[in-house]
């Protein structure tokens, strides 16, 4: 992998995630689940990576934590600042990359990521950075999508039609406890897992498809790539409907996710 290939990949990520804001209504409740699971407390210094529109950061700031938050997408950072203003909390939002965090070693008591760091292409680089900026005995906690449940299966389907370069790690590896154990290794202790649930509501499958096609980074990218290839697009849509119909019940998808927490040694 060349530096150019990495830069192009990150630029694409930045653009394709920039439309994610409407999904914040679904990630708001999981944000409270992650903050509670992390045990974050008032007065602690906390970092939210891949913060999107700030749902985790703002939840933690409302608890009284001193929060910094970072995301690749400037459009989402702008929306996150608006959210913090509405909530009347202070958060230091910053555009940036989890693979190269702009903070000194040992800056934070708690480092969190909700469905964020899992999209960095090099897991070992992202986790090294997250642990670097964490104080000894500090808490790292994150929420991720398991490969065998609905959202994981959706990402695999998208990858079939819009394959990432071979050096990019599939994001749903972060939904596997064994992979997490391997990545955190002996740098942490007391690794603990729990399950959270997200409800994604939609009035019909058509509403759901329209929503994911216009907001979820990897799906947005696939739609861009397939815009002159109606056959490919139709085939993807058929497969998406076949997969989704197993999970779409009573106007919603009930999507379980994995929460992981550990303490830095």
Ligand X SMILES: C[S@@+](CC[C@H](N)C(=O)[O-])C[C@H]1O[C@@H](n2cnc3c(N)ncnc32)[C@H](O)[C@@H]1O
Residues that bind ligand X (CB under 6 A): 13, 17, 20, 24, 27, 49-52, 55-56, 71-73, 76, 97-99, 114-116, 119-120
Whose Cβ is closer to ligand X: residue 238's or residue 254's? 254
CB of 203 vs ligand X, minimal distance in Å: 22
Whose Cβ is closer to ligand X: residue 56's or residue 223's? 56
What's the burial of 245, exposed, middle or buried (CB within 10 Å: 0-12/13-18/19+)?
exposed
Closest CA to 141 of 73, 65, 84: 65
CB of 134 vs ligand X, minimal distance in Å: 16
**Bridge pairing between strands 45-49 and 66-71:** parallel
Are the CB atoms for 117 and 133 separated by under 8 Å? Answer: no
Whose Cβ is closer to ligand X: residue 10's or residue 41's? 10
Whose Cβ is closer to ligand X: residue 115's or residue 200's? 115
CB-facing half-sphere around the CA of 219: CA atoms within 13 A: 20
CB of 109 vs ligand X, minimal distance in Å: 19
Whose Cβ is closer to ligand X: residue 75's or residue 191's? 75
CB of 76 vs ligand X, minimal distance in Å: 5
Distance CA 47, CA 110 (A): 6
CB of 99 vs ligand X, minimal distance in Å: 6
Which stretches of 88-216 are DSSP H helices?
A: 123-132, 150-161, 177-184, 205-215
Q: What is the length of the chain?
A: 265
Residue nearest to ligand X (CB): 52
CB of 191 vs ligand X, minimal distance in Å: 21
Q: Is 261 helix (H, G, I), strand (E, B) or coil?
A: strand
Whose Cβ is closer to ligand X: residue 51's or residue 157's? 51
Are the CB atoms for 141 and 195 separated by under 8 Å? Answer: no
CB atoms within 10 A of CB 138: 22
């Amino acid at each position: 992998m060349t530096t150019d290939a990495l830069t192009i990949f990150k630029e694409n990520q930045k653009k394709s995630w920039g439309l994610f804001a409407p999904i914040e209504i679904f990630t708001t409740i999981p944000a409270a689940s992650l903050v509670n699971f992390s045990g974050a407390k008032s007065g602690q210094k906390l970092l939210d990576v891949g913060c999107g529109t700030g749902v985790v950061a703002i939840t933690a700031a409302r608890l009284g934590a001193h929060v910094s938050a970072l995301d690749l997408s400037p459009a989402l950072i702008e929306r996150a600042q608006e959210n913090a203003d509405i909530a009347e909390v202070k958060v230091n939002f910053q555009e940036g990359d989890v693979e190269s965090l702009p903070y000194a070693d040992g800056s934070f008591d708690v480092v969190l990521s909700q469905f964020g760091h899992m999209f960095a292409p090099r897991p070992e680089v992202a986790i090294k950075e997250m642990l670097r900026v964490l104080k000894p005995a500090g808490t790292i906690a994150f929420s991720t999508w398991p490969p065998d449940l609905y959202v994981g299966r959706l990402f695999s389907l998208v990858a079939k039609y819009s394959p990432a370069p071979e050096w990019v790690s599939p994001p749903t590896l972060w939904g596997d406890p064994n992979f997490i154990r391997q990545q955190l290794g002996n740098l942490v202790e007391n690794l603990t897992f729990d399950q959270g649930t997200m409800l994604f509501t939609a009035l019909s499958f058509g509403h759901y498809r329209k929503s994911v096609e216009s907001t979820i980074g990897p799906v947005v990218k696939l739609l861009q790539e397939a815009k002159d290839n109606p056959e490919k697009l139709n085939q993807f849509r058929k497969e998406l409907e076949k997969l989704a119909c197993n999970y779409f019940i009573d106007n919603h998808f009930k999507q379980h996710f994995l929460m992981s927490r550990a303490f830095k040694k």
